[in-house]
């Protein structure tokens, strides 16, 4: 019987009953670059920390357990994870990608991957015809669900059936829901991506990225590539993510509880024109996310009536911070036009629904009364 998610955030079954590391409950930070060998042709199991490090290995096994994968790869940032993943493809390969991706992913695909002669077709994968975009050189479908920042929800299992029919890889960025709320591999995905900086770390104090897979072939390719390209996560940062993950479940539950209250509050404000939150029954992806996930998350995007109101809100917050990140214990507000999606061309940004009136909230674990009081103050300042 598989153990619960909160238990797996804390314990690896393979280490139970052992008294290694002097019984330390906090997994040790093996802050070493290299390892001494007992003799020629002999190894302790670790040779050089670019290849592997005990702290990073423990983290990778924990993340793989949470996602239901056979292996995970911890990288220095989320973008480092995407960079490494793209190395499994060849020049001339074509990918279908979600149009409403995180702006940094689009920037990478359009300025680095295309330079390396990869082709991309961007679609709204929650409603556009994916199968009609498949070509002879198509190798993968790359999605986020929910998307960043417009919260579009794609049916992972349905897209997986398309991918398998055409012998394509399905890659899912699972950052917004984390493995606590959603497990794409169990729905038919081949690869899962995370910015570990966000919910997995949860404290806005380190950067990290993850790739998780349930394919032996992909595992072997990535294990070779991570030691060859050298962007593996450092021992100390691995420890910070391990520490953060111990409270993943209770953070996700509290943040979601706050988010549902705030999403409904936003709907009642006269300057708010639309709220994008998949936990609202009127959201077009509500039934899909109920079917494929265990929760709705704590990310909310909303449109106000004017750019001036948007700017007034971000310049007036006090406890809520105007900052470019998400998934931490603190509530943050982001202005996608000049922050997360600043490098996305204006026409593409507008087509995806991101306007100068669009704001994004990452809801934290503060007391809901304090969050609502701050928002009420900010929204009702005199003109």
pLDDT-derived band of residue 3, with 50, 70 and 90 as boundaries?
confident
Please give the DSSP secondary-structure letter assigned to residue 233: P
User: Which has the closest alpha carbon to 241: 103, 361, 78?
Assistant: 78
Over residues 220-245, the mean pLDDT reads 98
Over residues 88-96, the mean pLDDT reads 98
The DSSP result for 110-167, as a single string, is IIIITTTT-EEEEE-TTTS-SGGG--TTEEEEEEESS-TTT-----HHHHHHHHHHTT
Residue-level pLDDT at 182: 98
What is the C-alpha to C-alpha distance for residues 61 and 11, in angstroms, rounded to an integer? 10
Could you tell me which CATH number the domain at 248-379 has? 3.90.1150.10
Q: How, if at all, do strands 332-334 and 71-75 pair?
A: unpaired
The model scores a pTM over 0.85 = yes
Q: Are 57 and 12 within 8 A, CB to CB?
A: no
Q: What is the pLDDT of residues 117-161, one digit of tens each?
A: 999 999 999 999 999 999 999 999 999 999 999 999 999 999 999
Whole-number average pLDDT of the chain: 96
Name the more confident of 338 and 189: 189
Residue-level pLDDT at 382: 78
Catalytic residue positions?
Answer: 50, 102, 173, 198
User: Which has the closest alpha carbon to 376: 306, 320, 296, 305?
Assistant: 320
Residue-level pLDDT at 118: 98
Q: What is the pLDDT of residues 159-177, one digit of tens each?
A: 999 999 999 999 999 999 9
Q: Are 241 and 201 within 8 A, CB to CB?
A: yes
pLDDT tops 90 at residue 105: yes
The rounded percent of the chain whose pLDDT value lies above 90 is 89
Residue-level pLDDT at 222: 98
Over residues 90-111, the mean pLDDT reads 96
Residue-level pLDDT at 297: 98
pLDDT tops 70 at residue 376: yes
Q: Where are the domains of the chain?
A: 5-245, 248-379
Q: Are 208 and 237 within 8 A, CB to CB?
A: yes
**Is residue 255 classed as helix, strand or coil in its secondary structure?**
helix
Q: Are 371 and 320 within 8 A, CB to CB?
A: yes
Over residues 194-205, the mean pLDDT reads 98
Sequence-ordered list of residues with C-beta below 8 angstroms from that of 24, at least 6 positions apart, any chain: none
Over residues 337-364, the mean pLDDT reads 92
Class of domain 5-245 as given by CATH: alpha beta
Residue-level pLDDT at 17: 66
């Amino acid at each position: 019987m598989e153990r619960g998610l909160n238990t797996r955030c804390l314990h690896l079954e393979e280490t139970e009953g052992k008294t290694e590391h002097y019984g330390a409950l906090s997994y040790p930070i093996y802050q070493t670059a290299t390892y001494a060998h007992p003799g020629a042709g002999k190894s302790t199991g670790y040779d050089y920390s670019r290849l592997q490090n005990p702290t990073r290995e423990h983290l990778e096994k924990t993340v793989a357990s949470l996602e239901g994968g056979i292996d995970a790869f911890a990288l220095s940032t989320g973008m480092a994870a995407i960079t490494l993943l793209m190395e499994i493809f060849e020049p001339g390969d074509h990918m279908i990608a979600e149009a409403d991706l995180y702006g940094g992913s689009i920037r990478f695909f359009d300025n680095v991957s295309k330079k390396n002669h990869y082709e991309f077709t961007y679609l709204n994968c929650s409603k556009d015809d994916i199968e009609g975009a498949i070509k002879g050189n198509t190798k993968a479908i790359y999605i986020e669900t929910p998307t960043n920042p417009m919260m579009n929800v794609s049916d992972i299992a349905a897209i997986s059936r398309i991918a398998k029919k055409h012998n394509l890889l399905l890659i899912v960025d699972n950052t917004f829901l984390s493995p606590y709320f959603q497990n794409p591999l169990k729905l038919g995905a081949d690869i899962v991506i995370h910015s570990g900086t966000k919910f997995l770390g949860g404290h806005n104090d380190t950067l990290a990225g993850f790739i998780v897979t349930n394919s032996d072939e992909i595992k072997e390719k990535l294990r070779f590539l991570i030691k060859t390209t050298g962007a593996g996560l450092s021992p100390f940062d691995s420890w910070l993510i391990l520490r953060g993950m111990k409270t993943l479940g209770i953070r996700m539950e509290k943040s979601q509880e706050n988010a549902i209250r705030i999403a409904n509050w936003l709907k009642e404000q006269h300057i708010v024109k639309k709220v994008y939150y998949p936990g609202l029954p009127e959201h077009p992806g509500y039934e899909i996310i109920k079917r494929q996930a265990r929760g709705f998350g704590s990310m909310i995007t909303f449109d106000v009536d004017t750019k001036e109101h948007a700017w007034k809100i971000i310049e007036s917050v006090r406890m809520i911070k105007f900052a470019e990140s998400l998934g931490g214990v603190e509530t943050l507000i982001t202005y996608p036009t000049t922050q997360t999606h600043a490098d996305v061309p204006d026409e593409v940004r507008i087509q995806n629904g991101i306007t100068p009136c669009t704001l994004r909230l990452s809801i934290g674990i503060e007391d809901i009364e304090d969050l609502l009081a701050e928002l009420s103050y900010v929204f009702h300042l005199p003109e």
